[in-house]
Chains A and B, each alone.
Chain A
Amino acid sequence: MKQFLAFVTKEFYHILRDRRTLFFMFGLPVVQILLFGFALSNEIKNASIAILDQSKDESTQALITRLDASRYFTIIKTLHHNNEIESVFRRGEVKLVVVFPANFRQELLHTNATQVQLVADATDTNTATTIANYAASIIRQYQDELLNEQKLPYTIRVENSMLYNPQLKSAYNFVPGVMAMILMLLSALMTSVAIVREKEMGTMEVLLVSPMQPLMVVFTKAIPYLVLSFVNVIIILILSVTLLEMPINGSLTLLLLECLLFIFTSLALGLLISSATHSQQVAMFISLVGLMLPTIIFSGFMFPIENMPKILQIISNAVPARWFYEIVKSIMIKGLGIDAIWRETLILLGMTVFFMGVATARFKVRLEG
């Protein structure tokens, strides 16, 4: 126990005295969350739109007011004729034109079905889809309200409906992704570099000659990173909830436990890397290329996995971050419990046990001769 304490204390000194490590530990998560949450957000605010209202009735007026009131849109023009549409797009004045057909309200009341046409400037496809979706969701809301007031089911036909994230807030996708990325970076990269540093400095030899169990030397080195990574999870969650207004709809305990599991997965990978390398550079390189890159590409938070070629979809199954991303999204956004994510949890658990096992076996051979 005394051995253990002396050793862990030393490890904390290493971390606290190295500015680079400290920055990685605490600066990076904050920077990343802010960057992804605000700067790199693909959320659109105050997009210029135009309205072509050929009906000019109570309902269209209500919808126009709502669109204008939302923070996503600013109505800068009211059109009077179909042929004006093309010219406003040509001049790049607006990103979206909302077209209400003639007799909008009458059709709604008498046939119970009517249409709204959303014409978007699709030169920037992402923006076009996003703002069309915003508009569609505002119209849907109005329709729902009408339904509550009236007995008859009115329908206004809109194409898309966004579940769970009706405002398409991008932070909702980024936060779980950034969490996966940061935990991978801290737990795997930092641990592997720290262990390899001891090998490089020659201090590992001295530790191995000491009565400390060789495997204990390696695992105790991982403990401070476990603690600090967990502190980081809490920092990220606080930032996400307060600054990015991200909800935690599911159980917080479950969320923290799953994060802990993923930290263990990353630590196991870090140990595995350090058992295979002898220089800090190599360890860093393997961690970045072998772990960070797949995490960014295959977890699904940057590029949707459904859109990937089949072969890449299959590869993505081997990336732990992919499962963790699923888990965090399910808990935080969908508010689901363990009954919905036990499969993903089991996969992560299996991966952790596997990596830990291989790392231990490798260290046993290397350290105990």
Chain B
Amino acid sequence: MKKSVIITDKLTKRFGAFTAVDAITFEVTQGEIFGFLGANGAGKTTAMRMLCGLLHPTNGRAEVAGFDVFRQREKIKQHIGYMSQRFSLYEDLTVRENIRLYGGIYGLKTNELKTKSDTLINRLGLNEEANKLVRSLPLGWRQKLAFSVAILHEPSIVFLDEPTGGVDPVTRRQFWDMIYETANAGITVFVTTHYMDEAEYCNRVSIMVDGRIEALDSPTGLKKTFSADSMDEVFIQLARKATRND
């Protein structure tokens, strides 16, 4: 039995009278690739922000990497990585400077940072580009670099917020290879996406509708439950029930 790295129990976030996230309960185990799905406005982002320690929950309980989301937000931040749709690299810094910046922010030691950036640059095959501005790199490379930087400090969980937006299918496929590699190395991957083919790559998938988790299972399990051929169909069946609009 693998240990759980994310545990939530009736986690709730209200903004005034509006309940953005309505008592969600789930667990994610170590090394799992967990797909976090939902239509726009379903509450995904709010839920994820709470788990990342960016937002104070209203009610319920949650632990991330063994730390409480109410009282140990700073501890949580040290043990997670984060990458968003926009890749979050500084375009006017070089590859090496970006790595150095994030390493510095996460408090890596100078020697450690040096070795790590060399290894990273080698592995991504960016030797010639190491001192070029990120702006000059193709989108796919930027994406891989952003992901590698997000796990540079070896977090126990990495949160990916729609990491493949605007990238071509081949690059997306390559990116998922990196995700598998990361999960195999024991880092939990918590990913939101709008691409249903990507949902199929996840070990388990949760689907949020109107702030609640309406379904949570492996892609195969979900398809069976909803007697659907693809995740696409599962998603549409559930999303149709949504009553609130964005």
User: Per-residue CB proximity of A188-216 to B under 8 Å, as 1/0?
Assistant: 00000000000001110111111110000
- Across the interface, which residues of B come within 8 angstroms of A205, CB to CB? 54, 82, 84, 88
Query: Which residues 196-247 in A have Cβ within 8 Å of B in the complex?
Result: 201-203, 205-212
Residue of A205, A207, A210, A211 with highest tally of chain B CB at under 10 A: A211
- B54, A208: Cβ atoms under 8 Å? yes
- B105, A6: Cβ atoms under 8 Å? yes
Q: Which residue of A lies closest to B83 (CB)?
A: A206
Q: Is B139 an interface residue (CB 8 A)?
A: no
- B101, A209: Cβ atoms under 8 Å? no
- A209, B78: Cβ atoms under 8 Å? no
CA A207 to CA B84, docked complex, whole Å: 12
Q: Is A10 an interface residue (CB 8 A)?
A: yes
CA A223 to CA B100, docked complex, whole Å: 20
Q: Is A39 an interface residue (CB 8 A)?
A: no
Chain B proximity of A223: nearest CB distance (Å): 15
Q: Is A3 an interface residue (CB 8 A)?
A: yes
- Across the interface, which residues of B come within 8 angstroms of A18, CB to CB? 92
- Across the interface, which residues of B come within 8 angstroms of A10, CB to CB? 90, 93, 97, 101
Choose among B52, B88, B107 the residue that contacts A203 (Cβ–Cβ < 8 A). Answer: B88
- A211, B105: Cβ atoms under 8 Å? yes
Q: Which residue of A lies closest to B103 (CB)?
A: A6
Query: Which residues 73-128 in B have Cβ within 8 Å of A in the complex?
Result: 74, 77-78, 80, 82-93, 97, 100-107
Chain B proximity of A369: nearest CB distance (Å): 4
Q: Which residue of B lies closest to A13 (CB)?
A: B93
Q: Is A90 an interface residue (CB 8 A)?
A: no
- Across the interface, which residues of B come within 8 angstroms of A7, CB to CB? 101, 104-105
Q: Is A311 an interface residue (CB 8 A)?
A: no
- B97, A209: Cβ atoms under 8 Å? no
Q: Is A343 an interface residue (CB 8 A)?
A: no
Choose among A201, A202, A206, A211 the residue that contacts B107 (Cβ–Cβ < 8 A). Answer: A211
Say yes or no: A207-B105 contact (C-beta < 8 A), given A10-B97, A202-B85, A369-B55: yes
- B106, A209: Cβ atoms under 8 Å? no
Chain A proximity of B203: nearest CB distance (Å): 23
Q: Is A91 an interface residue (CB 8 A)?
A: no
Chain B proximity of A15: nearest CB distance (Å): 10
Choose among B54, B74, B89 the residue that contacts A369 (Cβ–Cβ < 8 A). Answer: B54
Say yes or no: A206-B84 contact (C-beta < 8 A), given A3-B107, A211-B77: yes
- Across the interface, which residues of A come within 8 angstroms of B35, CB to CB? none
CA A223 to CA B106, docked complex, whole Å: 20
- A13, B92: Cβ atoms under 8 Å? yes
Q: Is A110 an interface residue (CB 8 A)?
A: no
Query: Which residues 155-212 in A have Cβ within 8 Å of B in the complex?
Result: 201-203, 205-212
Query: Which residues 8-34 in B have Cβ within 8 Å of A in the complex?
Result: none
CA A18 to CA B88, docked complex, whole Å: 19
Say yes or no: A369-B52 contact (C-beta < 8 A), given A6-B101, A10-B93, A13-B97: no
- B54, A210: Cβ atoms under 8 Å? no
- Across the interface, which residues of A come within 8 angstroms of B88, CB to CB? 201-203, 205-206
- B82, A203: Cβ atoms under 8 Å? no
Q: Which residue of A lies closest to B92 (CB)?
A: A17
Q: Which residue of B lies closest to A368 (CB)?
A: B56
CA A10 to CA B105, docked complex, whole Å: 11
- Across the interface, which residues of B come within 8 angstroms of A6, CB to CB? 100-101, 103-105
Chain B proximity of A163: nearest CB distance (Å): 51
- Across the interface, which residues of B come within 8 angstroms of A203, CB to CB? 86, 88-90
Q: Please, could you name 10 A-B residue pairs with CB atoms under 8 Å apart, sorted by A?
A: A6-B103, A6-B105, A10-B97, A18-B92, A202-B87, A205-B54, A205-B84, A206-B84, A209-B159, A211-B74
- Which 10 pairs of residues, A with B, have the shortest CB-CB distance? A6-B104, A202-B86, A369-B55, A209-B82, A206-B88, A211-B77, A211-B78, A17-B92, A210-B105, A10-B101
Using a CB–CB distance below 8 Å, which chain A residues touch chain B? 2-3, 5-7, 9-10, 13-14, 17-18, 201-203, 205-212, 368-369
